[in-house]
Structure 1
Amino acid sequence: MCRLFIEADPSLWESATRSIRIDGMVTSVRLENFFWNVLAEIGGRDGLATTQLIAKLYHEALEAGHDSGNFTSFLRVCCGRYLALQLSGEIPSGLPIARLDALSILEREKERRRAVA
């Protein structure tokens, strides 16, 4: 089982730091290359560069009242949720994320969790 993971391309778990400008302030974000790749895919679906996507996520998280204290963890979870939602069929291939009915997806997710509990 582990061979599938340990023999993957080691560059996927190497970290890279990128400088990002949000509201005129420059900040650094350090993530593994795997997550940078997923963020690029998410942003690309909506015509956003990775830095634009990150700034958008940052602003929307603040607007929702989330603490930005561990923003890199939030970004990793966003990537994981994106991949899981793709696998479940909630995010169809090629469709921009902005065109999805987020409320309906979140409601179906709640229903699935209730059914498992």
Structure 2
Amino acid sequence: MCQLFIGADPALWETRLRSVRMHGYATSVRLENIYWRLLGEIAGRDRLSVAELLARLYEELLEAQGEVDNFASFLRVCCVRYLMLQMAGDIPADRMQPIGGLDAPSILARERRRLAGPDDQHREASKAAQGGIAV
């Protein structure tokens, strides 16, 4: 099993520092090459450059959360979620289909249901049966 991972091209986990402009400031982000590749794929789907995608993610995260603690970790999670959502069928595998036009609230609701533990699923079912709003 490990050979599948160990035998990968070492260039995939080498890090690269890229300069980007976010929130009016020039800054740098260091990520492994595999994440830069995925961010390029994500950006390309909506005809954005990677720098434009990062700036947009940063601004929207700042607006939603009020602060951005670890942007590099956030980007890694975005990449993994992108792949997970593709595997679940929520994001089409067709790279020509933009992500921006997808129904984000519905996708997030399905993801929450998939990630919920048995206790959470039972609680949601009970709420629904009692006329409450299930997430």
TM-score normalised by structure 2 residue count: 0.82
Deviation for aligned residue 1:95: 1.5
- Residues 49-58 or 23-32, more deviating: 23-32
Contiguous gaps of at least 5 residues in structure 1? none
Deviation for aligned residue 1:114: 3.3
Which one has a bigger Cα radius of gyration?
2
Q: State the match for 2:101 in structure 1.
A: 99
- Distance in 1 (CA, whole Å) between partners of 2:117 and 2:11 is 38
- Distance in 2 (CA, whole Å) between partners of 1:113 and 1:52 is 30
User: SS in structure 1 opposite 2:18?
Assistant: strand
User: SS in structure 2 opposite 1:64?
Assistant: helix
Report percent identity of matched pairs. 56
Contiguous gaps of at least 5 residues in structure 2? 120-135
Structure 2 residue 50 is the aligned partner of structure 1 residue 50: yes
TM-score normalised by structure 1 residue count: 0.94
Going from structure 1 to structure 2, the CA distance change for 1:24 and 1:115 (only over 3 Å counts) comes to closer
Aligned residues: 117
1:5-39 deviation per Cα after TM superposition (whole angstroms, max 9, x unaligned): 01101100000000111233110000000000000
1:44-100 deviation per Cα after TM superposition (whole angstroms, max 9, x unaligned): 000000000000000010111153110000000000000110111100023101000
Deviation for aligned residue 1:115: 6.2
- Distance in 2 (CA, whole Å) between partners of 1:55 and 1:35 is 16
